[in-house]
């Protein structure tokens, strides 16, 4: 039996290496490429034509959904999204039977994804169904996750909450789990928030 050809697209290097090391333990798979951002993922998918792509949902430049939208239907591999907990994504993927892996990825769950991909590759009707499910999941996710844009960010300073208007922010820099906010007036604040999540709301 030929090996399942897999491309791993994940922007965080430790997470990518962790996934690759788990895949290397399976004898029936072959990693054909790894991408560190969405743009690179599209190029490598078109070039390598993998059977399955493990695709991080949140990536810089092009996120996982944009990667899928950038591909021609004829070039569409099987896709399993890799995501930190995201209720909108999980709901959309489950409703439309699209495969996904939650971070940190579990070895048993990864094995199930590989088995499911093998089964779909063997049956053309399942391949076509998979592409349709993917398109529907993306539509559902985008509709559900259209959260209102924020124009103010509340920050705690000592015992008070300060409201910082977004239009007065000069920069936001990620520092581990914290975000360092600097305003136009050179005021500095610190909040505990994921940069990717905040980016979606700004």
pLDDT digits (tens, 9 = 90+) for 88-122: 899 999 999 899 999 999 999 999 999 999 999 88
Average pLDDT estimate for 168-176? 86
Nearest to 32 by CA among 67, 69, 60, 5: 5
Average pLDDT estimate for 176-202? 79
Instruction: Specify the pLDDT at position 106.
Output: 93
Residue 123 has pLDDT above 80, yes or no: yes
Average pLDDT estimate for 4-11? 97
β-bridge mates for residue 112, sequence order? none
Instruction: Specify the pLDDT at position 148.
Output: 63
Pairing of strands 152-157, 160-165: antiparallel
Q: How far is CA 51 from CA 10, 117, 157, 166, in A?
A: 17, 8, 51, 43
Instruction: Specify the pLDDT at position 40.
Output: 95
Instruction: Specify the pLDDT at position 153.
Output: 84
Residue 201 has pLDDT above 70, yes or no: no
Instruction: Specify the pLDDT at position 142.
Output: 84
DSSP the chain: -PPEEEEEE-SSHHHHHHHHHHHHT-TTEEEEEEESSHHHHHHHHHHH--SEEEEESS-SSS-HHHHHHHS-GGG--EEEEEES--HHHHHHHHHTT--EEESSPPHHHHHHHHHHHHHHHH-HHHHHHHHHHHHHHHHHHHHHT-PPPPSEEEEEETTEEEEEEGGGEEEEEEETTEEEEEETT--EEEEE--HHHHHHH-
pTM of the entire predicted model: 0.72
Instruction: Specify the pLDDT at position 1.
Output: 63
Average pLDDT estimate for 15-41? 96
pLDDT tens-digit map of 46-56: 999 999 999 99
Average pLDDT estimate for 68-97? 90
């Amino acid at each position: 039996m030929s090996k399942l050809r897999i491309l791993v697209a994940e922007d965080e290097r430790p997470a990518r290496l962790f996934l690759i090391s788990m895949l290397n333990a399976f004898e029936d798979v072959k990693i054909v490429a790894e991408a560190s951002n969405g743009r690179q993922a599209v190029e490598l998918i078109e070039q390598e034509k993998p059977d399955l792509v493990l695709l991080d949902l949140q990536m810089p430049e092009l996120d996982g959904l944009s990667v899928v939208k950038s591909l021609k239907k004829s070039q569409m591999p099987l896709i399993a999204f890799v995501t930190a907990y995201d209720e909108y994504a999980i709901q959309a993927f489950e409703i439309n039977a699209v495969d996904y892996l939650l971070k940190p990825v579990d070895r048993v769950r990864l094995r199930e994804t590989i088995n499911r991909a093998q089964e779909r590759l063997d049956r053309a009707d399942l391949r076509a169904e998979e592409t349709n499910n993917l398109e529907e999941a993306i539509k559902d996710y985008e509709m559900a996750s259209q959260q209102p844009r924020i124009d103010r960010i509340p920050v705690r300073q000592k015992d008070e909450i300060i409201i910082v208007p977004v239009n007065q922010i000069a920069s936001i820099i990620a520092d581990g789990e914290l975000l360092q906010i600097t305003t136009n007036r050179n005021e500095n604040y610190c909040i505990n928030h994921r940069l990717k999540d905040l980016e979606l709301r700004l």
